[in-house]
Amino acid sequence: MDNILNSSQELQDILLVSGIKAKGYGILPKYPMLDTDLSIQAKGIYSYFCSYTGSGNTAFPGRDKILKDLQLSKDGYYKHFKLLTEQGYITVTQEQTNKFLRNVYTIEPQPKKFVLDENDTAQTKAYSKVRIEGLESLGYGMIPKLVMIDERLDIKAKAIYAYFCVFTGSGQNAYPKLKNILFHLGIVNDTYYKHFNTLLKLNYIKAEQRQINGKLSVNDYYLISNPNLANAPLPKKQDTEKTAYLSRSAPLPKKQDTITQDTITQDTITQDTENQDTNSNSTDITSFNNSIYNINQSIHQQTAATPPVIPAEPVRIEGMSDDEKENIVFDEMLEAETLPYWYISDESRLTAAIHIITGYRQQMKWFKNNENSRDDLKYSAFVLFNNALIEMLTTKNLMKLKGANISYSKVYAKLIEYLVYEEKNCEFHIISLLDTAIGDFMTACRDREILNHMQYMKACIWNVMQVGEIGIHAKIAHDFPALNR
């Protein structure tokens, strides 16, 4: 602990003199930070190496200092460093100095896996160009060595900071969407907020609300040029939890708690969606979360007449493109770590959510590109599945399925059991439900004449929700005898 305190004081003294670049800095290309073949730890190691390159050929620290700075074990370090060498981002050679061999690390400007897109419109336009060769041609930012050697920061926090840095090379950029950050870094929501919160606590990043049309509506995030480390407490265990002001719909810290800085022009990251960080009263947020908890606790007792609870000020998505709607809905699902129950009262959001978890847009694109060879029955069944599931979740009337009266809330409760989040691919899906219901529907279509395809698909979906892949044909035949001529 004393070493950390001394380190903090040393950093503070340096910062008072010349800011965050006082210890030097290097160029960090964007391409490796977006490469999903690299772990977040590998990206932290890569950023650490890059921070030493600002002065050309630089004396590099020994292994023990690297492990100490990055808070890694020897085995952990070599495990993730191996990814960098395997992917061609760093090469290691040895040279003789007197009686000893020493390692020489080279950060490769153009690894073999790096290929420019020849179809890029910027490549094909007929005008003279001047550009940087290699990785830096796709963007880069400055990475301060001081942040990389701060022992109070976990390697994942350093990688998150480095990820933000690569977006700042042009001065200010749209703040990356949360789902993109999680996908590129290969982490989950809680991990991100845990380390982002540490960066806030240590004053390396700050957030300020900006007014649009006279109203507080979005957050701007700043990589601080002169962080006031004297006022930054060491992170405590409870500080690693996600705090209220990091939630997209929760209030930011009061203005007097925000560090006052000169206007920052280079290291600025600006939120890209005007209404994404809508400000709400913290009491309303607590009330909403408690309401959702109570609803989920008693979901099996819900009836069709019970309206779901809606947050006080949800972001309005009417009039947005499908892409924009799905980006906002995906972020909200990541925040809730599920399909929020209140979507049932917002058909636009629910439709976007169902399309996300069924991979609707990707599937439709595939069907369109393979129109001549596609299975038209499977195509029609996939579209029908989406429409039927949306209708099952939004109808206010009780549905007669398998001889029982089923409410939308019961369908929701069963759907949640099938909802899976894959951290590796950063996606939600219901593959087992989707594939089984569509497969059973297609089999039934080939075996018999179906008079009401929508009703039959609903029966297939509900049957899988109830019993999985067991005996769907006999059960539906019993419940819908008129369909089985």
Query: Strands 172-175, 268-271: parallel, antiparallel or unpaired by DSSP?
Result: parallel
Q: What was the pLDDT predicted at 3? A: 53
Q: What was the pLDDT predicted at 62? A: 83
Are 25 and 54 spatial neighbours (Cβ–Cβ below 8 Å)?
Answer: yes
Tell whether the model's pLDDT for residue 280 goes beyond 50: no
Q: How confident is the model over 151-165, as pLDDT tens digits?
A: 889 999 999 999 998
Tokens representing 351? 């439709």
Cα dihedral angle (362, 180, 36, 145), rounded to 10 degrees?
170
Q: What was the pLDDT predicted at 385? A: 97
Mean pLDDT to the nearest integer, 96-114? 81
Most confident of 81-95, 117-131, 241-255: 81-95
Tell whether the model's pLDDT for residue 28 goes beyond 80: yes
Mean pLDDT to the nearest integer, 255-272? 33
Q: Which percentage of the chain shows pLDDT scores above 70?
A: 66
Q: What was the pLDDT predicted at 262? A: 33
Cβ partners under 8 Å of residue 260, min gap 6: none
Q: What was the pLDDT predicted at 137? A: 76
Most confident of 92-96, 98-102, 283-287, 443-447: 443-447
Tell whether the model's pLDDT for residue 209 goes beyond 90: no
User: If 0-12 CB within 10 Å is exposed, 13-18 middle and 19+ buried, where does residue 182 land?
Assistant: buried
Tokens representing 194? 């845990």
Q: What was the pLDDT predicted at 250? A: 33
Domain ranges in the chain are: 2-271, 297-483
The residue among 390 and 26 whose pLDDT is bigger is 390
Mean pLDDT to the nearest integer, 124-133? 52
The residue among 32 and 481 whose pLDDT is bigger is 32
The residue among 115 and 56 whose pLDDT is bigger is 115
Tell whether the model's pLDDT for residue 187 goes beyond 90: no
Tokens representing 485? 């001529």
How many Å apart are CA 90 and CA 49, to the nearest integer? 9
Q: What was the pLDDT predicted at 416? A: 92
Mean pLDDT to the nearest integer, 291-319? 55
Tell whether the model's pLDDT for residue 192 goes beyond 60: yes
Q: How confident is the model over 421-475, as pLDDT tens digits?
A: 887 778 899 998 999 999 999 999 988 889 999 999 999 999 999 876 455 455 5
Q: What was the pLDDT predicted at 203? A: 85
Mean pLDDT to the nearest integer, 138-151? 88
Q: Which percentage of the chain shows pLDDT scores above 90?
A: 28
DSSP 280-292: --HHHHHHHHHHH
Identity of the residue numbered 50 = C
The residue among 417 and 6 whose pLDDT is bigger is 417
How many Å apart are CA 480 and CA 461, to the nearest integer? 14
Averaged confidence pLDDT in the chain = 74
Tell whether the model's pLDDT for residue 271 goes beyond 90: no
Mean pLDDT to the nearest integer, 205-209? 78
Tell whether the model's pLDDT for residue 168 goes beyond 70: yes
- Whose CA is closest to 147, among 14, 1, 6? 14
At residue 259, the 3 state secondary structure works out as coil
Q: What was the pLDDT predicted at 348? A: 92
Tokens representing 459? 């029966």
Q: What was the pLDDT predicted at 24? A: 81
Q: What was the pLDDT predicted at 18? A: 58
Q: How confident is the model over 310-339, as pLDDT tens digits?
A: 676 778 888 888 888 998 999 889 888 899
The residue among 404 and 230 whose pLDDT is bigger is 404
DSSP 394-463: H-SSPEEETTEEE-HHHHHHHHHHH-EEETTTTEEE-HHHHHHHHHHHHHHHHHS--S-HHHHHHHHHHH
Mean pLDDT to the nearest integer, 291-301? 37
Q: What was the pLDDT predicted at 298? A: 36
How many Å apart are CA 363 and CA 361, to the nearest integer? 5
Tell whether the model's pLDDT for residue 255 goes beyond 80: no
Q: What was the pLDDT predicted at 20? A: 75
Are 152 and 69 spatial neighbours (Cβ–Cβ below 8 Å)?
Answer: no
